Amino acid sequence: MNEDRLREDIAAIGKSLYDRGLAHGSAGNISVKLADGWLMTPTNSCMGRLDPARISRIDAKGALISGDKPSKETFLHLAMYEERASTGAVVHLHSVHSVAVSCMDGLDPGDVFPPITAYAIMQVGKLALVPYYPPGDESLAEAVRAVAGRHHAVLLANHGPVVAGSTLDAAVNAIEELEQTAKLMLLLDGHATRYLTPVQVAQLNSRFKS
Ligand SMILES: [Zn+2]
């Protein structure tokens, strides 16, 4: 797909996420892989008002080629691309339900969500929890790298989700499913719940997982 179209897609998806309350202020960032680098949303930019022409273009080593300075969270995206060769796009949000779950005690770090719905299993899979580090801390990049090979969706503790997809649409759809699943997990808290059984989960994994 050509670069101009990708820039417009990033801005349109950013606005859609912002308009629906999935991004606020300058929180959240989107990147898309190019043949020789990446497009990355700029630092301190509002997802609801992205200018396609000012989106950062960075080279294969992460250096800025054109556009505004890239997000301070670019390293989270690069960690995903480095560990997952099939990644075409990465989305990171501070969406409220996912952040709420990321603050809960007693989560399984290898599989945060209980098996609530088929679509969560198909699109999010096993969500990994990454320990808390301050934003921008290089240890956070290392912690993401440590799990990214096995998980295309990770949840940064007390921070938010990062999701890789083969395309921008795939990454956005998966992070929206993740946010919905977090909301369901919170809604079900304290309610007797009939989760999918291990056999039902195994069937989904064998039939739908790529
Ligand atoms: Zn963040």
Condensed to tens digits (0 to 9), the pLDDT of residues 105-144 reads: 999 999 999 999 999 999 999 999 999 999 878 899 999 9
Share of the chain residues as helix, strand and coil, in percent rounded to the nearest 5? 40, 15, 40
pLDDT (0 to 100) of residue 12: 98
Token pair recorded at residue 82:
């480095």
CA distance 21 to 95: 8
Q: What is the structure's pLDDT at 1?
A: 67
Q: How many CB atoms lie within 10 A of CB 66?
A: 10
Instruction: Give the active site residue among 18, 73, 83, 179.
Output: 73
Q: What is the pLDDT of residue 209?
A: 58
Q: How far apart are CA 39 and CA 85, in angstroms?
A: 17
Q: Has 73 been annotated as catalytic?
A: yes
Ligand 1 midpoint to CA 203 (Å)? 34
Distance 47 CA to ligand 1 centre (A): 13
Find the 71 Cα to ligand 1 centroid distance in Å.
Answer: 10
* Residuewise pLDDT in 10s, the chain (210 residues): 699 999 999 999 999 999 999 999 999 999 999 999 999 999 999 999 999 999 999 998 889 999 999 999 999 999 999 999 999 999 999 999 999 999 999 999 999 999 999 999 999 999 999 999 998 788 999 999 999 999 999 999 999 999 999 999 999 999 999 999 999 999 999 999 999 999 999 999 888 754
142 is catalytic: no
pLDDT at position 137 is: 86
Cα of 73 vs centre of ligand 1, distance in Å, is 6
What is the pLDDT at residue 39? 98
Question: Of 6, 98, 20, which is closest to residue 52 (Cα–Cα)?
Answer: 6
Q: Report residue 130 as tokens.
A: 């990454």
Residue 168: both structure tokens together: 């921008």
Ligand 1 centroid, distance to 86 Cα (angstroms)? 23
Query: What pLDDT, on a 0 to 100 scale, did the predictor assign at position 183?
Result: 98
> Which one of the listed residues 18, 81, 82, 119 is annotated catalytic?
119
**pLDDT confidence of residue 208:** 72
Cα 154 to ligand 1 centre (Å): 12
88 with 102: CB under 8 angstroms?
Answer: no
